[in-house]
Structure 1
Amino acid sequence: MLFTSLLATASVVGSASAFSILSPGGPNLWWVAGSENTLVWTCHDNPPAQTFQLLLNNTSPTVLTSAEAILANLPNADCSQSITTQQVNLAPATGYTLIIADQTDQTKIYAVSDQFEVKAVGSAFPATSATPTGSSSVSATASGSGSAPSASTSTGSGANTSSATGFKTSLAGVFGVAAVAFGML
């Protein structure tokens, strides 16, 4: 099924608590090409299903022409998953998003990550402390060459966004992906 037709009928399943992707996403939580990378989500915040599938998308059709299924049977109870180079070949670029969808129906989208970058092979990973956790504020300092920018993120609600903001972010991500898929951006 082409991803454009998937997005034409996609619906985001909302909930009172924000089920969301914590990492990667945003300017301080990137992945590295040619490496094992980790996906982290809020598995305890009103999970939509016990298992789901994971898709990778990019805003640029020169990077990915359509969303690519990475995993078909991702168990929610794990709260994180290592993504290997055998599961996906990542090209260094910006504009990536991850999509958690129903295991059998890709049109039921449960969460969309914030956009993130895949850095070149051999780049430094973000500090482990940069990934938001379920209960407290997180302060992180990125490491690498040059100056080290620092960021502070409050996660008092157990996610990197509030329920309302997380749902709006998910909707914005889905519609942004749809706009790209239909050539509107």
Structure 2
Amino acid sequence: MVMVSRLTFLATTAALFGGALGEFAITNPSSNSWWVAGSQNVLTWNCKETTLQTFTALIANKDPKVLVAPMAFIGIINNFDCSKTITQDQANQAAGTGYTIQLANPLNSTEVYVTSEEFEIKPLGSAYPATMAPSGTGTSGNSTSSTGSSNSSAPANSNAASSSTPFSFGFAAIGAILGLVVA
């Protein structure tokens, strides 16, 4: 009887946490929308798809020679901002491929809420993608400025998908709750 009630409790908890994340996703950068090294870039997420209030932004790379572990570059982001201009001082990574952005629990950065698609950081002076053109470049998005500025209200790439599911957060929460219930 106790085991059945625990399973019911866990299933309910997973559903609640899964609903808190909805279809939460990072929409920029993505596989079709890169960043430019040594420049301002834009981080966007679909803020209306989650009830999370705040999170930490981390940058990671699948190649441990580039980044050994995810590195936090913004400690606390308010979800209601929906986008953030990232300065070259906040995230100044070398040009390369295999990068991802993670939005995580500000108190425990190993509890990742969502991970972006893999994206590329292009060399300094590269053009921004047309959908995320820095301000002052016109509508073509073909900027050759080496220190382009970002338009935080630029449209997000609506084709971006999250490589993380709401269940990953739910399962982490279940593990934490199991520890509390069993103890």
Report TM bin, short chain.
0.5 to 0.7
Unpaired runs of at least 5, structure 1 = 1-12, 131-140, 146-153, 175-185
The equivalent residue for 2:27 is: 22
Greater helix proportion: 2
Which ranges of structure 2 fall in alignment gaps of 5 or more residues?
1-16, 134-139, 145-156, 169-183
**What is the CA-CA distance between 1:100 and the residue it aligns to?**
0.1
User: Aligned-residue CA RMSD in angstroms?
Assistant: 2.7
Distance 1:109 1:14 in 2: 13
TM-score by length of 1: 0.63
Distance 1:129-1:105 versus aligned 2 partners, 3 A rule? closer
Corresponding position of 1:135 = none
- Amino acid of the residue matched to residue 45 of structure 1? E
Task: Pick which of 35-44 and 60-69 moved more.
Answer: 60-69
Contact 2:44/2:83 (8 A) holds in 1: yes
Larger radius of gyration between Structure 1 and Structure 2: 2
Work out whether residues 117 and 160 of structure 2, in 8 Å CA contact, stay in contact via their aligned partners in 1: no
Moved segments of 4+, more than 4 Å: 141-145
Which residue is 1:126 aligned to? 129
Residues 40, 80 of structure 1: 8 Å contact kept: yes
Q: Secondary structure at the match of 1:170?
A: coil
Identity of aligned residues (%): 40
TM-score, normalised by the number of residues in structure 2: 0.64
Structure-2 change in CA distance of 1:142 and 1:85 (3 Å): closer
Instruction: Give the structure 2 partner of residue 36 of structure 1.
Output: 40
8 Å CA contact 1:14, 1:110 repeated in 2: no
